[in-house]
Amino acid sequence: MKRYLYMMICLSLLVMTSCRKQSQRKDPDNYVVESIQPDVVSNEIHQLQTIDATSEAEFKGRNYDMYVIRRADSRLPIVTDEQGLKYYDNTIGLRITSGGREVIFKEFTKQTFASFLEADFLKHSILEGLVFDHVTEYGLMFAASVSYPESDLYVPFHVTVLPNGTLSIDKADLMDDYEEPTPDQQQ
């Protein structure tokens, strides 16, 4: 009798297990189909962190103090990425002084670089950064970028500030730092 009871319990467990497996939906090819919830797009507006940076450089015997601040700007149009996430665009302020005298104060937005960008890229991108790069024979060079939010897809720029406070903007090559290997370096 115990053996019969033991067999009944095992069969009951087997039947319950098989019934449970059959309750999952299957597609015609016998693959288990799980319930997938559609992605929910957040209504939250994301923003990049505020950055405050200072640096110094010497150009033609004069010392220059440079101050750059990037902050999200709610006055600018909201940017929506391909996943539907929304971002505040950024404003970047650049102040350069020399000997206590202001050489330049300029606020940059991605519109500053619009003439170099395609309309669709401009619509879905943000002004990501502006950093001091190096001293050139003409002035102080900064590297700037406009990018898709929080991605590696960007367009780089050179912003050169001359000692008289004027500036020039050029689209940079993505591989500026690339140096052609010499014959003895090639494998």
Asked if pLDDT for residue 182 goes beyond 80, the answer is no
Asked if pLDDT for residue 115 goes beyond 80, the answer is yes
How many angstroms from the chain centroid is the CA of residue 171? 18
Check residue 13 and give its pLDDT. Answer: 52
Please state the domain extents for the chain: 45-171
Provide mean pLDDT across the span 79-103: 94
Residue length, the chain? Answer: 187
Residues 80 and 124: beta-carbon distance below 8 Å: yes
Asked if pLDDT for residue 88 goes beyond 90, the answer is yes
Asked if pLDDT for residue 70 goes beyond 50, the answer is yes
Structure tokens at 129: 């950064």
List Cβ neighbours of 55 (8 Å cut-off, separation of 6 or more).
65, 66, 68, 132
User: pTM for this structure?
Assistant: 0.70
Residues 153 and 159: beta-carbon distance below 8 Å: no
- In CATH, which of 3.40.50.720, 3.30.70.1050, 3.40.50.2300, 2.40.128.510 is domain 45-171? 2.40.128.510
Please report, rounded to a whole number, the percentage of residues in the chain having pLDDT higher than 90: 65
Higher pLDDT, 181 or 138: 138
* Single-letter amino acid, residue 44: E
Compute how many other C-beta atoms are within 10 angstroms of the C-beta atom of residue 89: 23
Provide mean pLDDT across the span 29-57: 72
- E strands in 40-98: 45-46, 51-59, 62-72, 79-80, 86-87, 90-98
